[in-house]
Copies of this chain bind each other. A is one copy, B any other.
Amino acid sequence: MKQIDLMKELHIPSDKKILMLVLDGLGGLPFRDGKTELETARTPNMDRLCKDAVCGLSTPITPGITPGSGPGHLALFGYDPLEYTIGRGVLEALGIGLVLTPTSLAARGNFCTLDPATGVITDRRAGRIPTSKCAELVEKLKGITIEGVRTVVAPVKDYRFALILDGEGLEEGLTETDPQKTGLKPLKVEPLHEGARKSAALLNEWVEKAFEVLRNESPANGCTLRGIAKDPGLPSYREVYGLKACAIATYPMYKGLAKLVGMDVLDAGETIQSEVETLKKTWNDYDFFFFHVKKTDSAGEDGDFDAKVKVIEEVDAVFPDIVSLRPDVLIITGDHSTPSALKSHSWHELPVLIWAADIRPDAVSGFGERQCMAGGLGHIRHTDLMPLAMAHADRLTKFGA
C-alpha cells in the first residue's frame, strides 16, 4: 500500500495543530572553523527546544540525489517524488505566481536566435537577453490569440518565459520543440498519444504566430517550448490527511507548490517578521501550517556563509513568538541542503527536529548537522515526516486490528 493511501485510510479528526517550519536549503557542510552555517549560527531558542525534542537527519529523496524545489517539497508534504512529478512548465508558471487550473497546459519558453535565411537555431538562449528585453518581447506575444483557448504569457528571467494555454480538452504528453543544439530548426510539438493531438496543434499554431511576431527582432527572433505539462492533480491535504492546511511563504514558487496539494496560500508579506504576523493572525483557522523561509537557500546559492548564518539567527530570534502559539507538533527542517561551500543544492541530509508531547527525547542539546547525526530519529526520509507529524498530533488511528 502506498503511503498516501495509508494516510487516507488512517487519518482521524483531532484539534491538534502541526507547524512545519522549512528553512529552504538549510543543510550545510563544514566551511569555517570546520563548522556548517547552522552549527555556526547562535540559535539559543531552537537549541532550548532541542532538549525536549527528538532530532535526526533526513534524506530528501534517496541517498546521493540532489532535489530541485519541486521534488524536495513534495517529499516534505509526504508525496513520493519519484512517483509524483511536476513538469518544468508547471513549476516555471508557479514560480512567477501564475495560476493553473485543471484545464491549463503550461510550458517553459526560451527565446532563441534563428538564422533568418535558413531558420536554424544559432543561439538557443538568444544571447541571454536581459529580463527587461524578455518582458518587452512578452508584451508583443500577448497579442497572439488562439481560437477556443485562453493564453497567458509572462516573462520569467533572462531569455525564459512562461506560456499557459487554458481550455477544454488540453492534455499533456507532448514533445519539446528545442532540438537541444544549434544548427537545427526548432521542432514541432508532437503528441505522444492520441488525446494530446489537439494540444499539439494549438501549441504549434501559437509558435508559428510567435515566429511571425518576433521575425524582425534581434537577437531574439524565435522561441522554443519545453516541459509542457499540466497540474499533476495531486490528492489534496484535506483528502490525504484530513487537514485544513495553509502555506505561509514569501516566494511564488513555494506558494504554487503548496497550492498543488490544496493548501490555502496566505498573504504573508515579504519578511520573516511579516510571515510570523500572518501565522499569529491565522492560528485559529488551520490545522497545518507550512511556514517557508526562502533566504537560507538564496544565501547558500550565493556562497554567502555569513548571510546564511544571519538568516538562521533571524529565524531563531522570532522563534519564541512561534512557540508561544503552542503548536502541538513542531517540525524544523529544510527541503534540501544548500551548502555555501558548494553554492548549489546538494544531496546531503537535512537536520530535522520534531517537538511534540509524545516524543522520546534524545540527548541532542543543540540544533546542528553533527549533533543530529546522533539524534533519536536516526536517519529518515522526508516522506516519513508527515506520517510522524500526523501520529504525534493524534491524527492517525491504528493500522489493522
List A residues at the B interface (Cβ < 8 Å): 1, 3, 6, 10, 29-30, 36, 57, 61-71, 81-83, 85-86, 88, 91-92, 227, 339, 341-342, 345-348, 358, 360-363, 369-370, 373-374, 376-380, 384, 386-392, 396-401
Specify the chain B residue showing the minimal Cβ separation from A345: B398
Give the residue among A29, A57, A378, A386 with the most B Cβ atoms within 10 A: A378
With a cutoff of 8 Å between Cβ atoms, the chain B residues found around residue A379 in the complex are 377-380
Specify which of B361, B390, B400 is in contact with A71 (CB 8 Å cutoff).
Answer: B400
10 additional contacts (CB under 8 A) given A66-B399, A71-B399, A378-B378? A6-B65, A29-B360, A36-B360, A62-B387, A64-B391, A64-B396, A65-B396, A85-B400, A342-B358, A377-B379
Residues of B within 8 A of A391 (CB): 63-66, 346-347
In the assembled complex, the Cα of A114 lies from the Cα of B228 at a distance in Å of 59
Would you give the shortest CB distance from A236 to chain B, in whole angstroms? 20
| Top 5 closest pairs, chain A to chain B, by CB | A64-B387, A378-B379, A64-B391, A71-B400, A68-B400
Q: Tell me the complex Cα distance, A346–B388, Å.
A: 11
CB distance from A394 to the nearest CB of B (A): 9
Q: Are B376 and A86 in contact (CB under 8 A)?
A: no
Given contacts A398-B66, A398-B345, A401-B70, are A6 and B358 in contact (CB under 8 A)? no
A401/B69 contact (C-beta < 8 A), A64-B384, A379-B378 known: yes
| A215: min CB distance to chain B, Å | 30
A87 to chain B: closest residue by CB? B401
Residues of B within 8 A of A360 (CB): 29-30, 36, 348, 369-370, 373
For residue A10, which residues in chain B have a CB less than 8 angstroms away from its CB? 65
The reply to whether A68 and B399 form a contact with Cβ atoms under 8 Å apart is yes
| Closest residue of B by beta carbon distance from A339 | B358
The reply to whether A91 and B399 contact each other, CB–CB distance below 8 Å, is no
The chain B residue with its CB closest to the CB of A349 is B360
A360-B29, A384-B62, A387-B65 known; A70-B400 Cβ under 8 A: yes
Interface centre among A10, A388, A391, A401, by most chain B C-beta atoms within 10 angstroms, is A401
A-B contact pairs, 28 of them (CB 8 A): A1-B82, A3-B62, A6-B62, A29-B358, A29-B360, A57-B378, A62-B387, A63-B388, A64-B389, A64-B390, A65-B387, A66-B391, A66-B396, A66-B399, A67-B398, A67-B399, A68-B398, A68-B399, A68-B400, A70-B400, A86-B400, A345-B398, A346-B391, A347-B391, A360-B373, A373-B378, A378-B379, A379-B380
**Residues of B with C-beta under 8 A to A36:** 360
- Distance, CA A380 to CA B61, complexed state (A): 14
